[in-house]
Structure 1
Amino acid sequence: MRNVSDLYALDITSVSFVQACGGPCTEGCVTLARIGDGCWALGDSKRPDLAPLRFSTEELRFAGIDPARFGLGG
């Protein structure tokens, strides 16, 4: 597993976030972007001013988040 500080050292200025909703997107949705090999940034569409959190693929899997749900390969 990657070191958390390594994840936050990755530049995410040019990544594209994809939104996934569990239902109507009136309450906000989770956004996800691949930021490296096995590295992800997870954001909140209702709080775009907050920096996204960063996770490894393994951490996402433990949290029950599947990048395939976003149309992104794992």
Structure 2
Amino acid sequence: MLDGTKLYDLDISGASFAKACGGPCTEGCVTLARIGDDAWALGDSKQPAAEPLRFTSEELAVAGIDPVRFGLSV
């Protein structure tokens, strides 16, 4: 399992982000990409230039974020 501080050492330049919307996508959507075996990057479609936040799988689960909702396998 990755230490939370090591998540930001991972290269995400080739990450493929998937989008999930809670409402109309004109209001912005959350984007999610797997960036490692136990690592995820969470972004904001309204601010694509902003650095995505990084989480472990356990942290995503605690936050109630399910990668399946984004069409991603766990």
Give the structure-2-normalised TM-score.
Answer: 0.95
Q: CA deviation at 1:6?
A: 1.1
Q: Structure 1 unaligned runs (5+)?
A: none
2:60 partner SS: helix
Q: Structure 2 unaligned runs (5+)?
A: none
Runs of 4 or more above 6 Å deviation: none
1:33 aligns with 2:30: no
How many Å separate the matches in 1 of 2:25 and 2:3?
Answer: 33
Q: CA deviation at 1:2?
A: 2.3
The CA deviation string for residues 8-67 of structure 1, in whole angstroms up to 9 with x for no partner, is: 000000011000001210110000000000110000000112100000000000000000
RMSD over aligned Cα, in angstroms? Answer: 0.9
AA matched with 2:37: D
User: What is the percentage of aligned positions where both structures have the same residue?
Assistant: 68
- The match for 2:7 is 7
Aligned length: 74
Give the structure-1-normalised TM-score.
Answer: 0.95
